Structures are given as structure tokens and as C-alpha cells.
Amino acid sequence: MNEMKYILIRIIGCLLTFCLAFACQSEHNTLTLQEKEAGWELLFDGKTLQGWRDYNGTALTAPWVVENGALAALGQGDDGNGYIVTDKQYENFELIFEWKLPKWGNSGVLYHVVEHPKFAVPYVTGPEYQVIDMVGSWEESEDTQEVAADYAMYPADPVKTKPRKVGQWNTSRIIFDNGHVEHWLNGEKVVEFEAWTDDWFCRKNSGKWEDAPEYGLAHNGHICLQDHGDKSWYRNIKIRELPRKPKNERPLFNGKNLDGWEIYGTEKWYVQDGLLICESGPAEGWGYLATREYYTDFELSVDFKQEADGNSGVFFRSHMLGEPNTDDMYGWQVEIAPPMYDTGGIYGWDRWLMQIPDEKEHVLRMGEWNTMVIKVQGDRVTTWLNDILMSDLSDDEIGKTQGRIALQIHEGGGTKILWKNLILKQL
């Protein structure tokens, strides 16, 4: 009897072990009740590719499949056909994912990715958590290109960075909390920095991204996975959104220099007697002075005085599509121009969205100081000139975008405008 009991206990034990192993396996790509209550959502259900599509596409044709409960890259990708993105966009978040690679494998997880036909690849906008097999890699690399690094920006702590062997699952975490960034690998925080600081911009403008003017500037965007030409596997991809923190009113111009701004084009921008001055140069081309940061929802008050005829404007939610020192600014602008040319109206990429009625043309005081107030929130743009409402517009396309604030010099010469009291309140 005792022997039979022992055999029965052994059998039950084996069955329990099998059941527990099966249960653990089935728990992948699921959320606990506590996780759901804490706001977590799955980005991959373990069965389908629902919620993912090609970068700059409407469907999923890239070489990604579901393989044994993992989201798998087949290793056939390249810049033209290797990236998939979430349908949804995220601003502040905590992202957790598990991954594994073959020997010499290379992949990556990007965030805040912006889609636009002229952005051919996602990495010119979105920062990347580097996923790579450094142990078996045959390539020499810089420390900012190694596993868990903020690719080409911030290296991972070599003491704490301990990836598992090839073929074993690693657990990674990315936290983006109102500009505070952390990378974690297998329970250790290995990267920590603040985005959009002087140090951040110094790294951006002096390394791999110096010719990618919009890299890392977006405050929200898609999560993106990379097929770098190697197989890779991801599972248990989950995310929870973090709240946006309120920001105080701040000046965009310090009255001393152009800190916080970037010049594009050939025209002249300078500071004199505490004023910001834009002036057409000998080339009589386009010129822009753009904030180095993105501002999406805001109220901007700015004083300006036109000392010569010319055409200018205040761009919003705009970005550079070309190379540095070019004039390829894409976005929307609030017009600033001579009398009878719709100052306070809203101009799009190639057409007027809202012109002002003729009876409001007298509101502009040519040769004197004027105050323009621009409020951009969601899909709505409202402008006031010298306390008079000039435009009130709602536009779906504006509502989908983000970008810089920029002052413009129109081509053709003859422009000279003085600016002061550029005060921004983020909404």
C-alpha cells in the first residue's frame, strides 16, 4: 500500500509539473487583472499581427510573422521593408518586452516614430533601444551601439548590462516620462538621461544624427520594431501610458542670443539691443529660425514690428524635411505680411486655409509694434492681432501633427522684422 501511494504521489507530482509548465507557457502575451487595473495594454496578442502595420503603410507586408507565440522577424528586412509600427501613438509610457536573437543578431525597438512620405525610414525621427547580440557580434561598434543603449546617443552601463546567452529570452523596459528616459535590461537600469537638454542636443548635433534635423524631437509617435536582416523574436509586449505633466509659461527668446533656436536657409537672423531681428540677405531666399524643440498644444504671444515690406510668418507644428541649411520647412503658418495681405490668416503647405476679411486689414499697424497671439490645441487654431480675433480654424490634418515653432523670411528680399516678448504657455 505504501509503495502504491508513493507511485501515485509521483504520478500526481509529474502531472502537476506538466500542468504548471503548460499554464506558465499559456500565460505569455496576457495581462493579469492587476495589470489591467493599472492601465497596461498588450501590443501583441501572441496569435495575430493585429495592431501592427508597415511603417508609412496601411497594411502589414513586411517580413514579420507569428511563430510559437512570438512576434518574429524573418531576417529578410531592409530599410525599405523591415519596419513595423503600432497603429496607436504614445507620448509618455512604460514599455516592457521580451526578446531573443540568434548569433550575431541585430534588431531594435524604436518609439516616438513619425510617419511622413519624406521620412523614408523611422530612425530619422524615433530613438532606438538597441537589441543586438554583442557576444557573438563580429562587428566593431561604439558603446552607444551596444545592447540596451539609446542608439548613437547614450551608452548602457557596461557593469550592469548583462544580456542572456544567444537563444535565451531577455526582458527589457523603456520608460519615457515627460522627457525622463530609462532603459532597463533583465532587471537592471542601464541607461538614464533627460531628453531635450543641452547635453542631449549636443549629442544629437555632433554625431550620427547631425544630418537628421527631426531626430528625437517628437513628443509622441508610434512604437516600431526593426527587421535588420537578422531573425529576432519578441513576446509579452505591453505598455501603460503615463500622464503628461503641466509646464509653466516660458520665454522662447532670452533677449541675448539665439539659444534654443536653429537657423535654416541663407537669410540673416541676429540679436541687437535685446531684439530678435530677421532680415533678407544677398541671396534673397527663404529663411527660417526654428525652435530646437517641438511644441504641440500651446498659446504663444509675440510682439513684432515690420521695418520694411516683406513677407513673414509664424510656423507651428512644423518640421524640416530636407538636409540642414536648406529651406524645406513643412507645416502651417500664421501669416505676417504688409497691409492687405492677410496678417493673422492661416496658410498651409501650398494653399490658404483661412484668409482674413478685408475689414480687418486695418488691425495691422505697419511700422509699429503689434502683438500676435496664436493658440493651437488639438485640431483648432485661433489667432488674435492686437486683441482682435483674426482666425478660428479646425482642421483634421493639423490635429494629427506635431512639430516646431518657426519664424520665416519669405524669398524675394525686402524683409526686415523685429521681434520681442516671445512668451509660450504649453497647454
CA nearest 127: which of 95, 153, 99, 100?
A: 153
The yes/no answer on whether domain 250-426 falls in CATH 3.90.180.10 is: no
Could you read off the pLDDT of 351-407 as tens digits, one per residue?
999 999 999 999 999 999 999 999 999 999 999 999 999 999 999 999 999 999 999
CA-to-CA distance for 330 and 6, rounded, in angstroms?
A: 77
CA dist 50 to 16, 42, 71, 226, 227, Å? 34, 11, 11, 17, 18
Residue 258: burial class (beta carbons within 10 Å; 0-12, 13-18, 19+): middle
Whether residue 370 contacts residue 385, with contact meaning beta carbons closer than 8 Å, is answered with yes
- Torsions phi, psi for 128 (to 5 deg): -130, 130
Closest-CA residue to 95 (of 199, 225, 204): 225
User: Which backbone phi and psi does 408 adopt, to 5 degrees?
Assistant: -120, 145
3-state secondary structure of 316: strand
How many Å apart are CA 388 and CA 178, to the nearest integer? Answer: 35
Give the residue, 16 or 197, on which the prediction is more confident: 197
Specify the domain boundaries for CATH 2.60.120.560 within the chain.
25-241, 250-426
25-241 folds as Jelly Rolls (2.60.120)
- For 31-60, the pLDDT digits (tens) are 999 999 999 999 999 999 999 999 999 999
What b/e readout covers 220-248, taking b as 16+ CB neighbours within 10 angstroms? bbbbbbbbbbbbbbbbbbbbeebeeeeee
C-alpha cell at 300: 504663444
What does R_g of the chain's alpha carbons equal in angstroms?
A: 26
- Could you give the CA distance from residue 219 to residue 223 in angstroms, rounded to a whole number? 12
Give the model confidence (pLDDT) of 175-185 as tens digits.
999 999 999 99
pLDDT digit string, tens, across residues 233-287? 999 999 999 999 988 899 999 999 999 999 998 899 999 999 999 999 999 888 9
Q: What is the pLDDT of residue 142?
A: 87
pLDDT digits (tens, 9 = 90+) for 292-314: 999 999 999 999 999 988 789 99
pLDDT at position 310 is 78
Residue 22, pLDDT score: 40
Residue 273 gets the label, from left (phi > 0), alpha (psi -120 to 50) or beta, of left
Q: What pLDDT is stored for residue 77 in this prediction?
A: 83
**pLDDT value at position 118?**
85
The pLDDT of 114-135, averaged and rounded, is 92
Query: Average of pLDDT values for 136-155?
Result: 84
Residue 69 is given by DSSP the state T
The residue whose grid cell reads 520665416 is 408
Task: In whole angstroms, give the CA distance from residue 373 to residue 393.
Answer: 14
For residue 398, how many other CB atoms are within 10 A of its CB? 20
pLDDT of residue 178: 97
Nearest-CA neighbor of 407 among 296, 294, 263?
263
Of 14-28, 180-194, 205-219, the one with minimum mean pLDDT is: 14-28
Please provide the average confidence, as pLDDT, over all residues in the chain: 91
Q: Per-residue pLDDT for 190 more than 80?
A: yes
- Please tell me what DSSP assigns to residue 338: S
